[in-house]
Amino acid sequence: MLVIDFLAAEKHLAKADPVMRGLIRQHGRLSIRAEELRQAPFESLARAIANQQLSGRVADVILGRFVKLFPGKKFPTARDLAAVTDEEIRSVGFSWAKIAALRDLAAKVIDGTVPTTAKIHKLSDEEIIERLTAVRGVGQWTVEMLLIFKLGRPDVLPVDDLGVRQGFTRAYGLAEPVKPRALREYGERWRPYRTVVTLYLWQVMRAGGQGGAPAI
């Protein structure tokens, strides 16, 4: 498992980019909550599916009801899902589309497309994106959030994330919103710590009262 060295990241970014040096001084050291890095891939992706197009509070309520369908479990496994019907899952608040996504996720965990907790830590970011986006309803952005918040990968730059683009546009004083391609190209100078930059760009928006890191 890769662990982000935030001190090394700060030194590298401060040297590579004067704007980042200013953000580091302004906002101090950022971090990722370590307890989030221990969830199994099935749980992480199931939670991500639940959060799609919903507020964090509503998603948490639905997930709480969902877990209660499996007495004695902190969170069900992929195989546990076979014990409940679609109608039971629908009754706790999941849409039919999300139920289909959960079923596909469970099937791909069982057939090995979605790797186990032990195996996922041995895969590259690119391999994880390729395998997890094979799941219905799981796109690259969702996997990038998993790479950052659940696996603690150090070099992820989600260029399609609106908050990241807005944070960059504001921090760098641009007159027009940055395009994903331009952000990706500029971000080459931040390697291998683009995740840390992502956290700072979200912090720029949070400090301005306009959101921040997404809930997944």
Which pair of tokens denotes residue 181?
Answer: 């391609």
Separation of alpha carbons 165 and 177, rounded Å: 7
Query: 140-149 and 125-132 helices cross at what angle (nearest 10)?
Result: 130
First CA to last CA distance, the chain: 20
Active site residue 161: yes
Total length of the chain:
216
Contact 109, 122 (CB under 8 A): no
Candidates 17, 104, 155, 161; catalytic one: 161
Looking at the annotation, which residues are catalytic? 161
